[in-house]
């Protein structure tokens, strides 16, 4: 589908929050939620829910919701529904898995491109840590360095499928080849990447792929998807009384079942965003390709607009990136820029955005980071124009 054919008016109409007139360029920190997701959550609560595994209908409804949610998330990323671990967010799940995957005597490879949620859980395992460096000018994560970082002691290579501030999409598949040749596992942070285009975790070489539904129009739920056979080999901390089944072994406590129904609705919403045929997986691939083309087209306007303003410094120029811009404005702190834009009804984030290592590598962590303006599928040209006009006024 051509970007000009993307049904943006129709898409925007399904997001009630957009009616407040703000330009929501903060999607990288969490998207708004469309009506079918809100309705699915409300309907689940209205119909009566019980804890899973019981003998009565409300419990059976929760069982069905959990199963449907795993199937939906698996479809979104090209994974196996039996290996979908659901939890409160990516950070919590990554801490849980990192403890089960690595420890003293192992080596782990982390990158300075990554959100801290795919760094600290690994550096705190007690394993020896090796660092992949970023080119601070281009914002690229060179693949070649991995040959020197990975060896037979490497247990996990943790890397992001896309940077949450620069948008850089590193060559994860090439890194995975190096990792797998040494017998290491690939833990891929797909939190920022997932909403911006089709995902095939197997093609990426991800043994474990993490994503968060609240970045793609769903509620605040995280998921890690893996081969169930791999999960069978792992022993996370768990209660003696809770099931040892996979993937439930990794899910502590009682789950937010109604929200899980919202996750399924979000996947269905994405799958139906543009006309498509075939299985839900096939329709998702069609929709996500249309979303990617639409966002990239709009982003070309946004980034060119910023890059041509003499009082603006943009960070990174990676060859493959999501529609995410990170920039500073001369004589204004990132917070001041965000406050100025907020007065104009434009929502952007400011600061390090948890890209702790990357903002240090860019030399701006101690000076407040920068401003992040990111596009998702419900942003339109007027959002971009309002951002650019607002930033231009600071010149």
Ligand X SMILES: Cc1ncc(COP(=O)(O)O)c(C=O)c1O
- Number of residues in contact with ligand X under rule CB under 6 A: 14
Here's the x/- map for ligand X, 135-174, by CB under 6 A: it reads as -------------------------x---x----------
- 338 near ligand X (CB under 6 A): no
Q: Given the complex with ligand X, which of 212 and 359 has the nearer CB atom?
A: 212
Q: Given the complex with ligand X, which of 163 and 379 has the nearer CB atom?
A: 163
Specify the pairing of strand 84-87 against strand 208-212.
Answer: unpaired
User: What does the alpha-carbon distance between residue 282 and residue 78 come to, in Å, rounded to a whole number?
Assistant: 10
Three-class secondary structure of residue 17 per DSSP: helix
CA neighbor of 193 nearest in space, from 173, 92, 178: 173
Question: What is the edge-to-edge ordering of all strands in the sheet holding 324-329?
Answer: 312-314, 324-329, 370-374, 349-351
Q: Given the complex with ligand X, which of 189 and 292 has the nearer CB atom?
A: 189
123 C-beta neighbours (distance < 10 Å), count: 16
- Report, in Å, the least distance between residue 215 CB and ligand X: 7
| Interface stretch with ligand X, choices 55-63, 97-105, 126-134, 185-193 (CB under 6 A) | 185-193
- Report, in Å, the least distance between residue 191 CB and ligand X: 4
- CA 19, 21, 23, 24: dihedral to nearest 10 degrees? -40
Here's the x/- map for ligand X, 214-243, by CB under 6 A: it reads as --------x---------------------
Q: Which of 26, 75, 140, 189 binds ligand X (CB under 6 A)?
A: 189
Specify the pairing of strand 185-189 against strand 208-212.
Answer: parallel
Helix (H) or strand (E) holding 328: strand 324-329
- Report, in Å, the least distance between residue 258 CB and ligand X: 18
Residues comprising the chain, all counted: 395
Q: Which of 212, 264, 347, 379 binds ligand X (CB under 6 A)?
A: 212
- 324 near ligand X (CB under 6 A): no
- Report, in Å, the least distance between residue 212 CB and ligand X: 3
Here's the x/- map for ligand X, 83-122, by CB under 6 A: it reads as ------xxx-----------------------x-xx----
Q: Given the complex with ligand X, which of 115 and 280 has the nearer CB atom?
A: 115
- 191 near ligand X (CB under 6 A): yes
Taking each helix axis as running N to C, give the angle between helix 257-271 and helix 57-77, from 0 to 180 degrees, rounded to the nearest 10.
40
Q: Name 129's bridge partners.
A: 108
- Diameter of the chain by CA atoms? 67
Tokens of 59: 């419990």
User: What does the alpha-carbon distance between residue 381 and residue 383 come to, in Å, rounded to a whole number?
Assistant: 5
CA neighbor of 178 nearest in space, from 140, 210, 132: 132
Q: Given the complex with ligand X, which of 90 and 258 has the nearer CB atom?
A: 90
- Alpha carbon 250 to chain centroid, angstroms: 20
- 323 near ligand X (CB under 6 A): no
Q: Which residues bind ligand X (CB under 6 A)?
A: 29, 89-91, 115, 117-118, 160, 164, 189, 191-192, 212, 222
């Amino acid at each position: 589908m051509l970007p000009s054919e993307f049904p943006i008016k129709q898409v925007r109409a399904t997001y009630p929050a957009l009616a407040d007139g703000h330009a929501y360029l903060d999607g990288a920190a969490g998207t708004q939620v469309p009506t079918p997701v809100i309705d699915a959550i409300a309907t689940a609560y209205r119909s009566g829910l019980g804890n899973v595994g019981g003998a009565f209908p409300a419990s059976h409804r929760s069982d069905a919701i959990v199963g449907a949610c795993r199937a939906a998330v698996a479809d979104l990323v090209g994974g196996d529904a039996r290996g979908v671990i659901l939890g409160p967010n990516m950070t919590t799940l990554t801490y849980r898995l990192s403890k089960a995957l690595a420890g003293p005597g192992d080596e782990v490879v982390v990158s300075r491109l990554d959100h801290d949620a795919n760094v600290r859980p690994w550096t705190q395992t007690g394993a020896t840590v090796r660092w992949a460096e970023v080119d601070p000018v281009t914002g690229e994560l060179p693949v070649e360095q991995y040959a020197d970082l990975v060896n037979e002691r490497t247990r996990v290579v943790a890397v992001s499928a896309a940077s949450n501030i620069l948008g850089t999409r590193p060559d994860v598949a090439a890194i995975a080849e190096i990792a797998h040749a040494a017998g290491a596992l690939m833990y891929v942070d797909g939190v920022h990447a997932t909403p911006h285009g089709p995902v095939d975790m197997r093609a990426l070489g991800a043994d474990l792929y993490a994503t968060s539904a609240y970045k793609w129009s769903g509620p605040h739920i995280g998921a890690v998807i893996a081969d169930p056979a791999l999960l069978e080999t792992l022993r996370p901390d768990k209660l003696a009384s809770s099931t040892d089944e996979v993937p439930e072994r990794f899910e502590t406590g009682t789950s937010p079942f109604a929200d899980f129904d919202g996750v399924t609705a979000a996947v269905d919403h994405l799958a139906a965003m543009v006309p498509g045929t075939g299985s839900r997986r096939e329709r998702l691939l069609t929709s996500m390709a249309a979303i990617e083309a639409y966002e990239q087209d709009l982003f070309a306007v946004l980034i060119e607009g910023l890059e041509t303003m003499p009082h603006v410094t943009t960070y990174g120029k990676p060859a493959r990136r999501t529609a995410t811009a990170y920039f500073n404005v001369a004589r204004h702190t990132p917070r001041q820029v965000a406050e100025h834009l907020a007065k104009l009804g434009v929502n952007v984030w400011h600061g390090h955005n948890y890209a702790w290592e990357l903002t240090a590598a860019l030399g701006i962590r101690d000076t407040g980071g920068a401003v992040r303006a990111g596009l998702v599928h419900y942003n339109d040209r007027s959002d971009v124009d309002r951002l650019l006009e607002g930033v231009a006024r600071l010149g």
